[in-house]
A and B are shown apart, each in its own frame.
Chain A
């Protein structure tokens, strides 16, 4: 029994380890093939991570990456591919920034209102894809990709000064106005800079995610539906309702992705608000195998690559090396996880086979005795 558990842990770690090693080797090969010193850029990146301000940057980035990956992972566990996290969090950040700037409430309530609005908007946007899937069978992959594009257009229109936006004096940026100080989330100040307070909420959400999925009836139903829709239905899960619910939850978590930045630093939604985090979240959820701890490490790894690679420019290397690394990680992850999975199944069948053979032997002896 114990041995089996050890095997499982080993197998669980083997996948990511294999993926990272092969991604590293592939990166070195790509660098060497492009005529660049294959090791030096990596050294530069590691050196970058030694600076305190870069470290803070990595922690903060990992925070919202973590949220994005959780949002994607909720979908994955139920066999839904929510590619729309990107549109969901941007629209949520924008609308909640407008609401936050428009009202003044006592501190905690103000923050709570902004967060709830963001979750609501994210859930609403994901819910559109959910309804389309549950009622009409539209693939959520297609609808969420399209909703991303629609969200971009809606934001661009809403943020026009004639609608909800403002154009600060002497700037060509557009913003949603500033959120008063009561809506700022307190930060943890360190020597290297501020860690957004919301980052800790993000990581705490991982615990909630684990509990909800592994320890509640709802989580079991969700995982069962993801594992086999027909079996889940026969067991009493309303599949359509489950599609809707998981899309809404995924969207609500996606709505939180912009919160660390909005509540901690920018206090407004403007044209330079980061985009594309939703897609990074897919990479991280994959790499972390939808496991809250796995996602935690994966979020830090990707944040490291992102932030440390920006220093490559000054060292005379292209910072796109970071993008290449991320791409190679995705490829390596998909392949190595599948390899490890097949190995695990073979191993297990072998064990079951041995057990059966042993069982038969016992039975035979009994027969002889009889």
Chain B
């Protein structure tokens, strides 16, 4: 039963009707690990119930159980007071449970209407009746969905609304939203919360999974905290603070990405001048751009992207020794292309890249790596690891020509293994040995291995793309420490992250990228996530100064978010 170490912000309103969802004693074991242990949650009807916990705490497993994707080993599920047992999502949907996944499951080349009716053709057909129903739902909850827009033309926030509508269309009365704000900028988050309040007002129930505490306090009616697979307490959002929640969530104080004392020198390490890259003609990639300010409440359909547009447009910046340059931007605005150009994986059409005084514009990837570029890729599975290979071979990856991995073209497995053991030890990679495959490690441990590997070659310049994405809080702190440590010793870092707190906390200088251009710069000491978010949508440019008005209101938010 919930040990509830601290506060019990329970149902103040005595439920006149049975709770929408009641989970009792849920336990789920996977080979070797207990994912959920004796979980008890009561979700009142017509409320937004937040489920918080750090990555890997067991939130997703629990929701998969509720959604019928997994069967619990023990425990009961009651919907509207009635005991149920789901063996697949279809049965859960039939009982009015709907789930909006973190990664959208939409077909880009179909219209919104087509996406919504897909798989639900029996409900209202695929024609006028379906359209009418969609508009009805859209109007009822203020979703502002346009049925005939192509999904590939929609921004992230609009796609999310389509996903929500898709679930409602299938008759969901209880919506599970898995980390819905992870992909949104602050303004879009507010718009989403307005939508959630509408849903709530209409009597629907929302289960909101998150680890961003500031947001949770803004929108939730009830909060349940999960730690290491079990419910450790509930909290009342009207009285709880982010700090209390954080401590409940982690069982200790949360790490903060703050770097205070400056280590920036005047020696330029990386200089980029006029970097330009155009999209290959004939290829169109959707550009998930957020709507500009003022359009957040309404659906904003983007013009389709012209062929051959500039992915990077005259990008210039300098990173000095000991400096962390943070790049903020909505994903898909040129960050990937910038990284690829700096790593040498793709050739820019114009521009010069200089590393430590040497022109490396035409240098191949391997030479750049040997020359001192470290790389923490944004997608570690695709670019950072050989998933099916043992850890020690992954330690060689990317540094096969360097000591201790090889000598004169011949590999030195003994030395590589020994060094892998050192990395495992120093960076606290949790593994039974260095012969297990990378795939069997958790995300945080994989990332620690990558960070350890890149730092082991004393890079002059580090590209850190989303270094703590999908990483648990403990590993997050260790990774931040590693970056800060190296920065003190003169490392230049290019930090790209969707986590605005991380960006503001770690960076010495901030730039905003929008449609391939660096449109704004900001001082991380004074900027707030909200202001940064505005600039990310292209609504602000130039040097961002915190206006007095803004900073007063935003400061509170910032402290809240720091604690997350």
Q: Is the pair A233, B345 in contact by a Cβ cutoff of 8 Å?
A: yes
Asked whether any CB of chain B lies closer than 8 Å to the CB of A220, the reply is: yes
At the interface, yes or no: A354 with Cβ under 8 Å from chain B? yes
When chains A and B are docked, how far (Å) is the Cα of A355 from the Cα of B383? 26
Nearest-CB distance from B43 to chain A (Å)? 28
CB neighbors of B among A208-258 (8 A): 214-221, 223-224, 227-228, 230-238
Partner pick for A353 among B33, B385, B386, B401, CB 8 A cutoff: B33
Majority secondary structure of chain A interface residues (helix, strand, loop or mixed): helix
Most-contacted residue by chain B among A4, A8, A348, A355 (CB, 10 A):
A355
B32 touches which of A1, A231, A357 (Cβ 8 Å) = A357
Q: How far is the CB of A245 from chain B (nearest CB, A)?
A: 14
Measured in the bound complex, the distance between the Cα atoms of B472 and A363 in whole Å is 14
- Interface positions, chain A 342-357, Cβ under 8 Å from B, are 345-346, 348-357
Contact of B430 among A228, A348, A359 (CB under 8 A): A359
8 A Cβ contacts from B397-445 to A: 397-401, 406, 409-411, 413, 430-433, 435-437, 439-442
Contact A345 B437 (CB under 8 A): yes
Asked if A231 and B437 sit within 8 Å, CB to CB, the answer is no
Contact of A350 among B31, B369, B382 (CB under 8 A): B31
* B169: interface (CB < 8 Å): no
Cβ of B365 and Cβ of A231 under 8 Å apart? no
Does chain A have a CB within 8 A of B203?
A: no
Q: In the bound complex, what is the Cα–Cα distance between A215 and B414 (angstroms)?
A: 11
- Complex CA–CA separation, A326 to B37 (angstroms): 51
Is B462 in the interface zone, CB < 8 Å from A?
A: no
Known: A234-B365, A236-B369. A8 touches B386 (CB 8 A): no
- Which of A230, A235, A351, A356 is the one whose CB lies under 8 Å from B442? A356
Within 8 Å by CB of A228, from B32, B387, B401, B435, lies B387
CA distance A215 to B369 in the complex (A): 21
Number of B residues near A (Cβ < 8 Å) is 50
Most chain A CB atoms below 10 A, which of B384, B400, B410: B400
Interface residues on A, range: 35 or more
Flag whether B252 is at the interface (Cβ < 8 A). yes
Could you tell me if B435 and A217 are in contact, using CB atoms closer than 8 angstroms?
no
Min CB distance A135 to B, Å, is 16
Q: Find out whether the CB atom of A5 lies under 8 angstroms from the CB atom of B435.
A: yes
With both chains docked as a complex, state the minimum distance between the C-beta of B206 and any C-beta of chain A, in angstroms. 31
Is A367 interfacial (CB 8 A cutoff)? yes
Q: Which of A325-370 contact B (CB under 8 A)?
A: 345-346, 348-357, 359-360, 363, 367
Is there an interface contact between B364 and A349, defined as CB atoms closer than 8 Å? Answer: no
Q: Which residues of B contact A238 (CB under 8 A)?
A: 364-365
Q: By the criterion CB–CB under 8 Å, are A234 and B386 in contact?
A: no
B293 at the interface (CB under 8 A from A): no
Are B343 and A224 in touch, CB under 8 angstroms? no
CA distance A192 to B364 in the complex (A): 57
A217 partner, pick from B343, B368, B377, B409, beta carbons under 8 A: B409
Bound complex: CA of A228 vs CA of B369, how far in Å? 18
A214 (CB) vs chain B CBs: closest residue: B411
Q: Across the interface, do B406 and A217 meet the contact criterion of CB distance under 8 Å?
A: yes
| B400 contacts A235, C-beta separation under 8 Å | yes
B397 touching A353 by the CB < 8 A rule? Answer: no
Q: How far is the CA of A139 from the CA of B358 in the complex (A)?
A: 39
Instruction: Please give the distance in Å from A211's CB to the nearest CB on chain B.
Output: 9
Q: Which 10 A-B pairs have the closest CB atoms?
A: A353-B32, A236-B366, A235-B398, A234-B383, A353-B33, A236-B365, A350-B32, A350-B31, A355-B432, A227-B386
Other A-B pairs beyond A217-B401, A349-B32, 15, CB < 8 Å: A1-B433, A4-B433, A4-B435, A4-B436, A217-B411, A220-B411, A227-B388, A231-B382, A231-B386, A238-B364, A348-B436, A352-B431, A352-B440, A355-B432, A356-B33
Contact sample, A vs B, 5 pairs, CB 8 Å cutoff? A217-B406, A224-B386, A227-B388, A227-B389, A360-B228
- Residues of B that sit less than 8 Å from A by CB: 30-34, 228, 251-252, 343, 345, 364-369, 375, 377, 382-389, 393, 396-401, 406, 409-411, 413, 430-433, 435-437, 439-442, 474
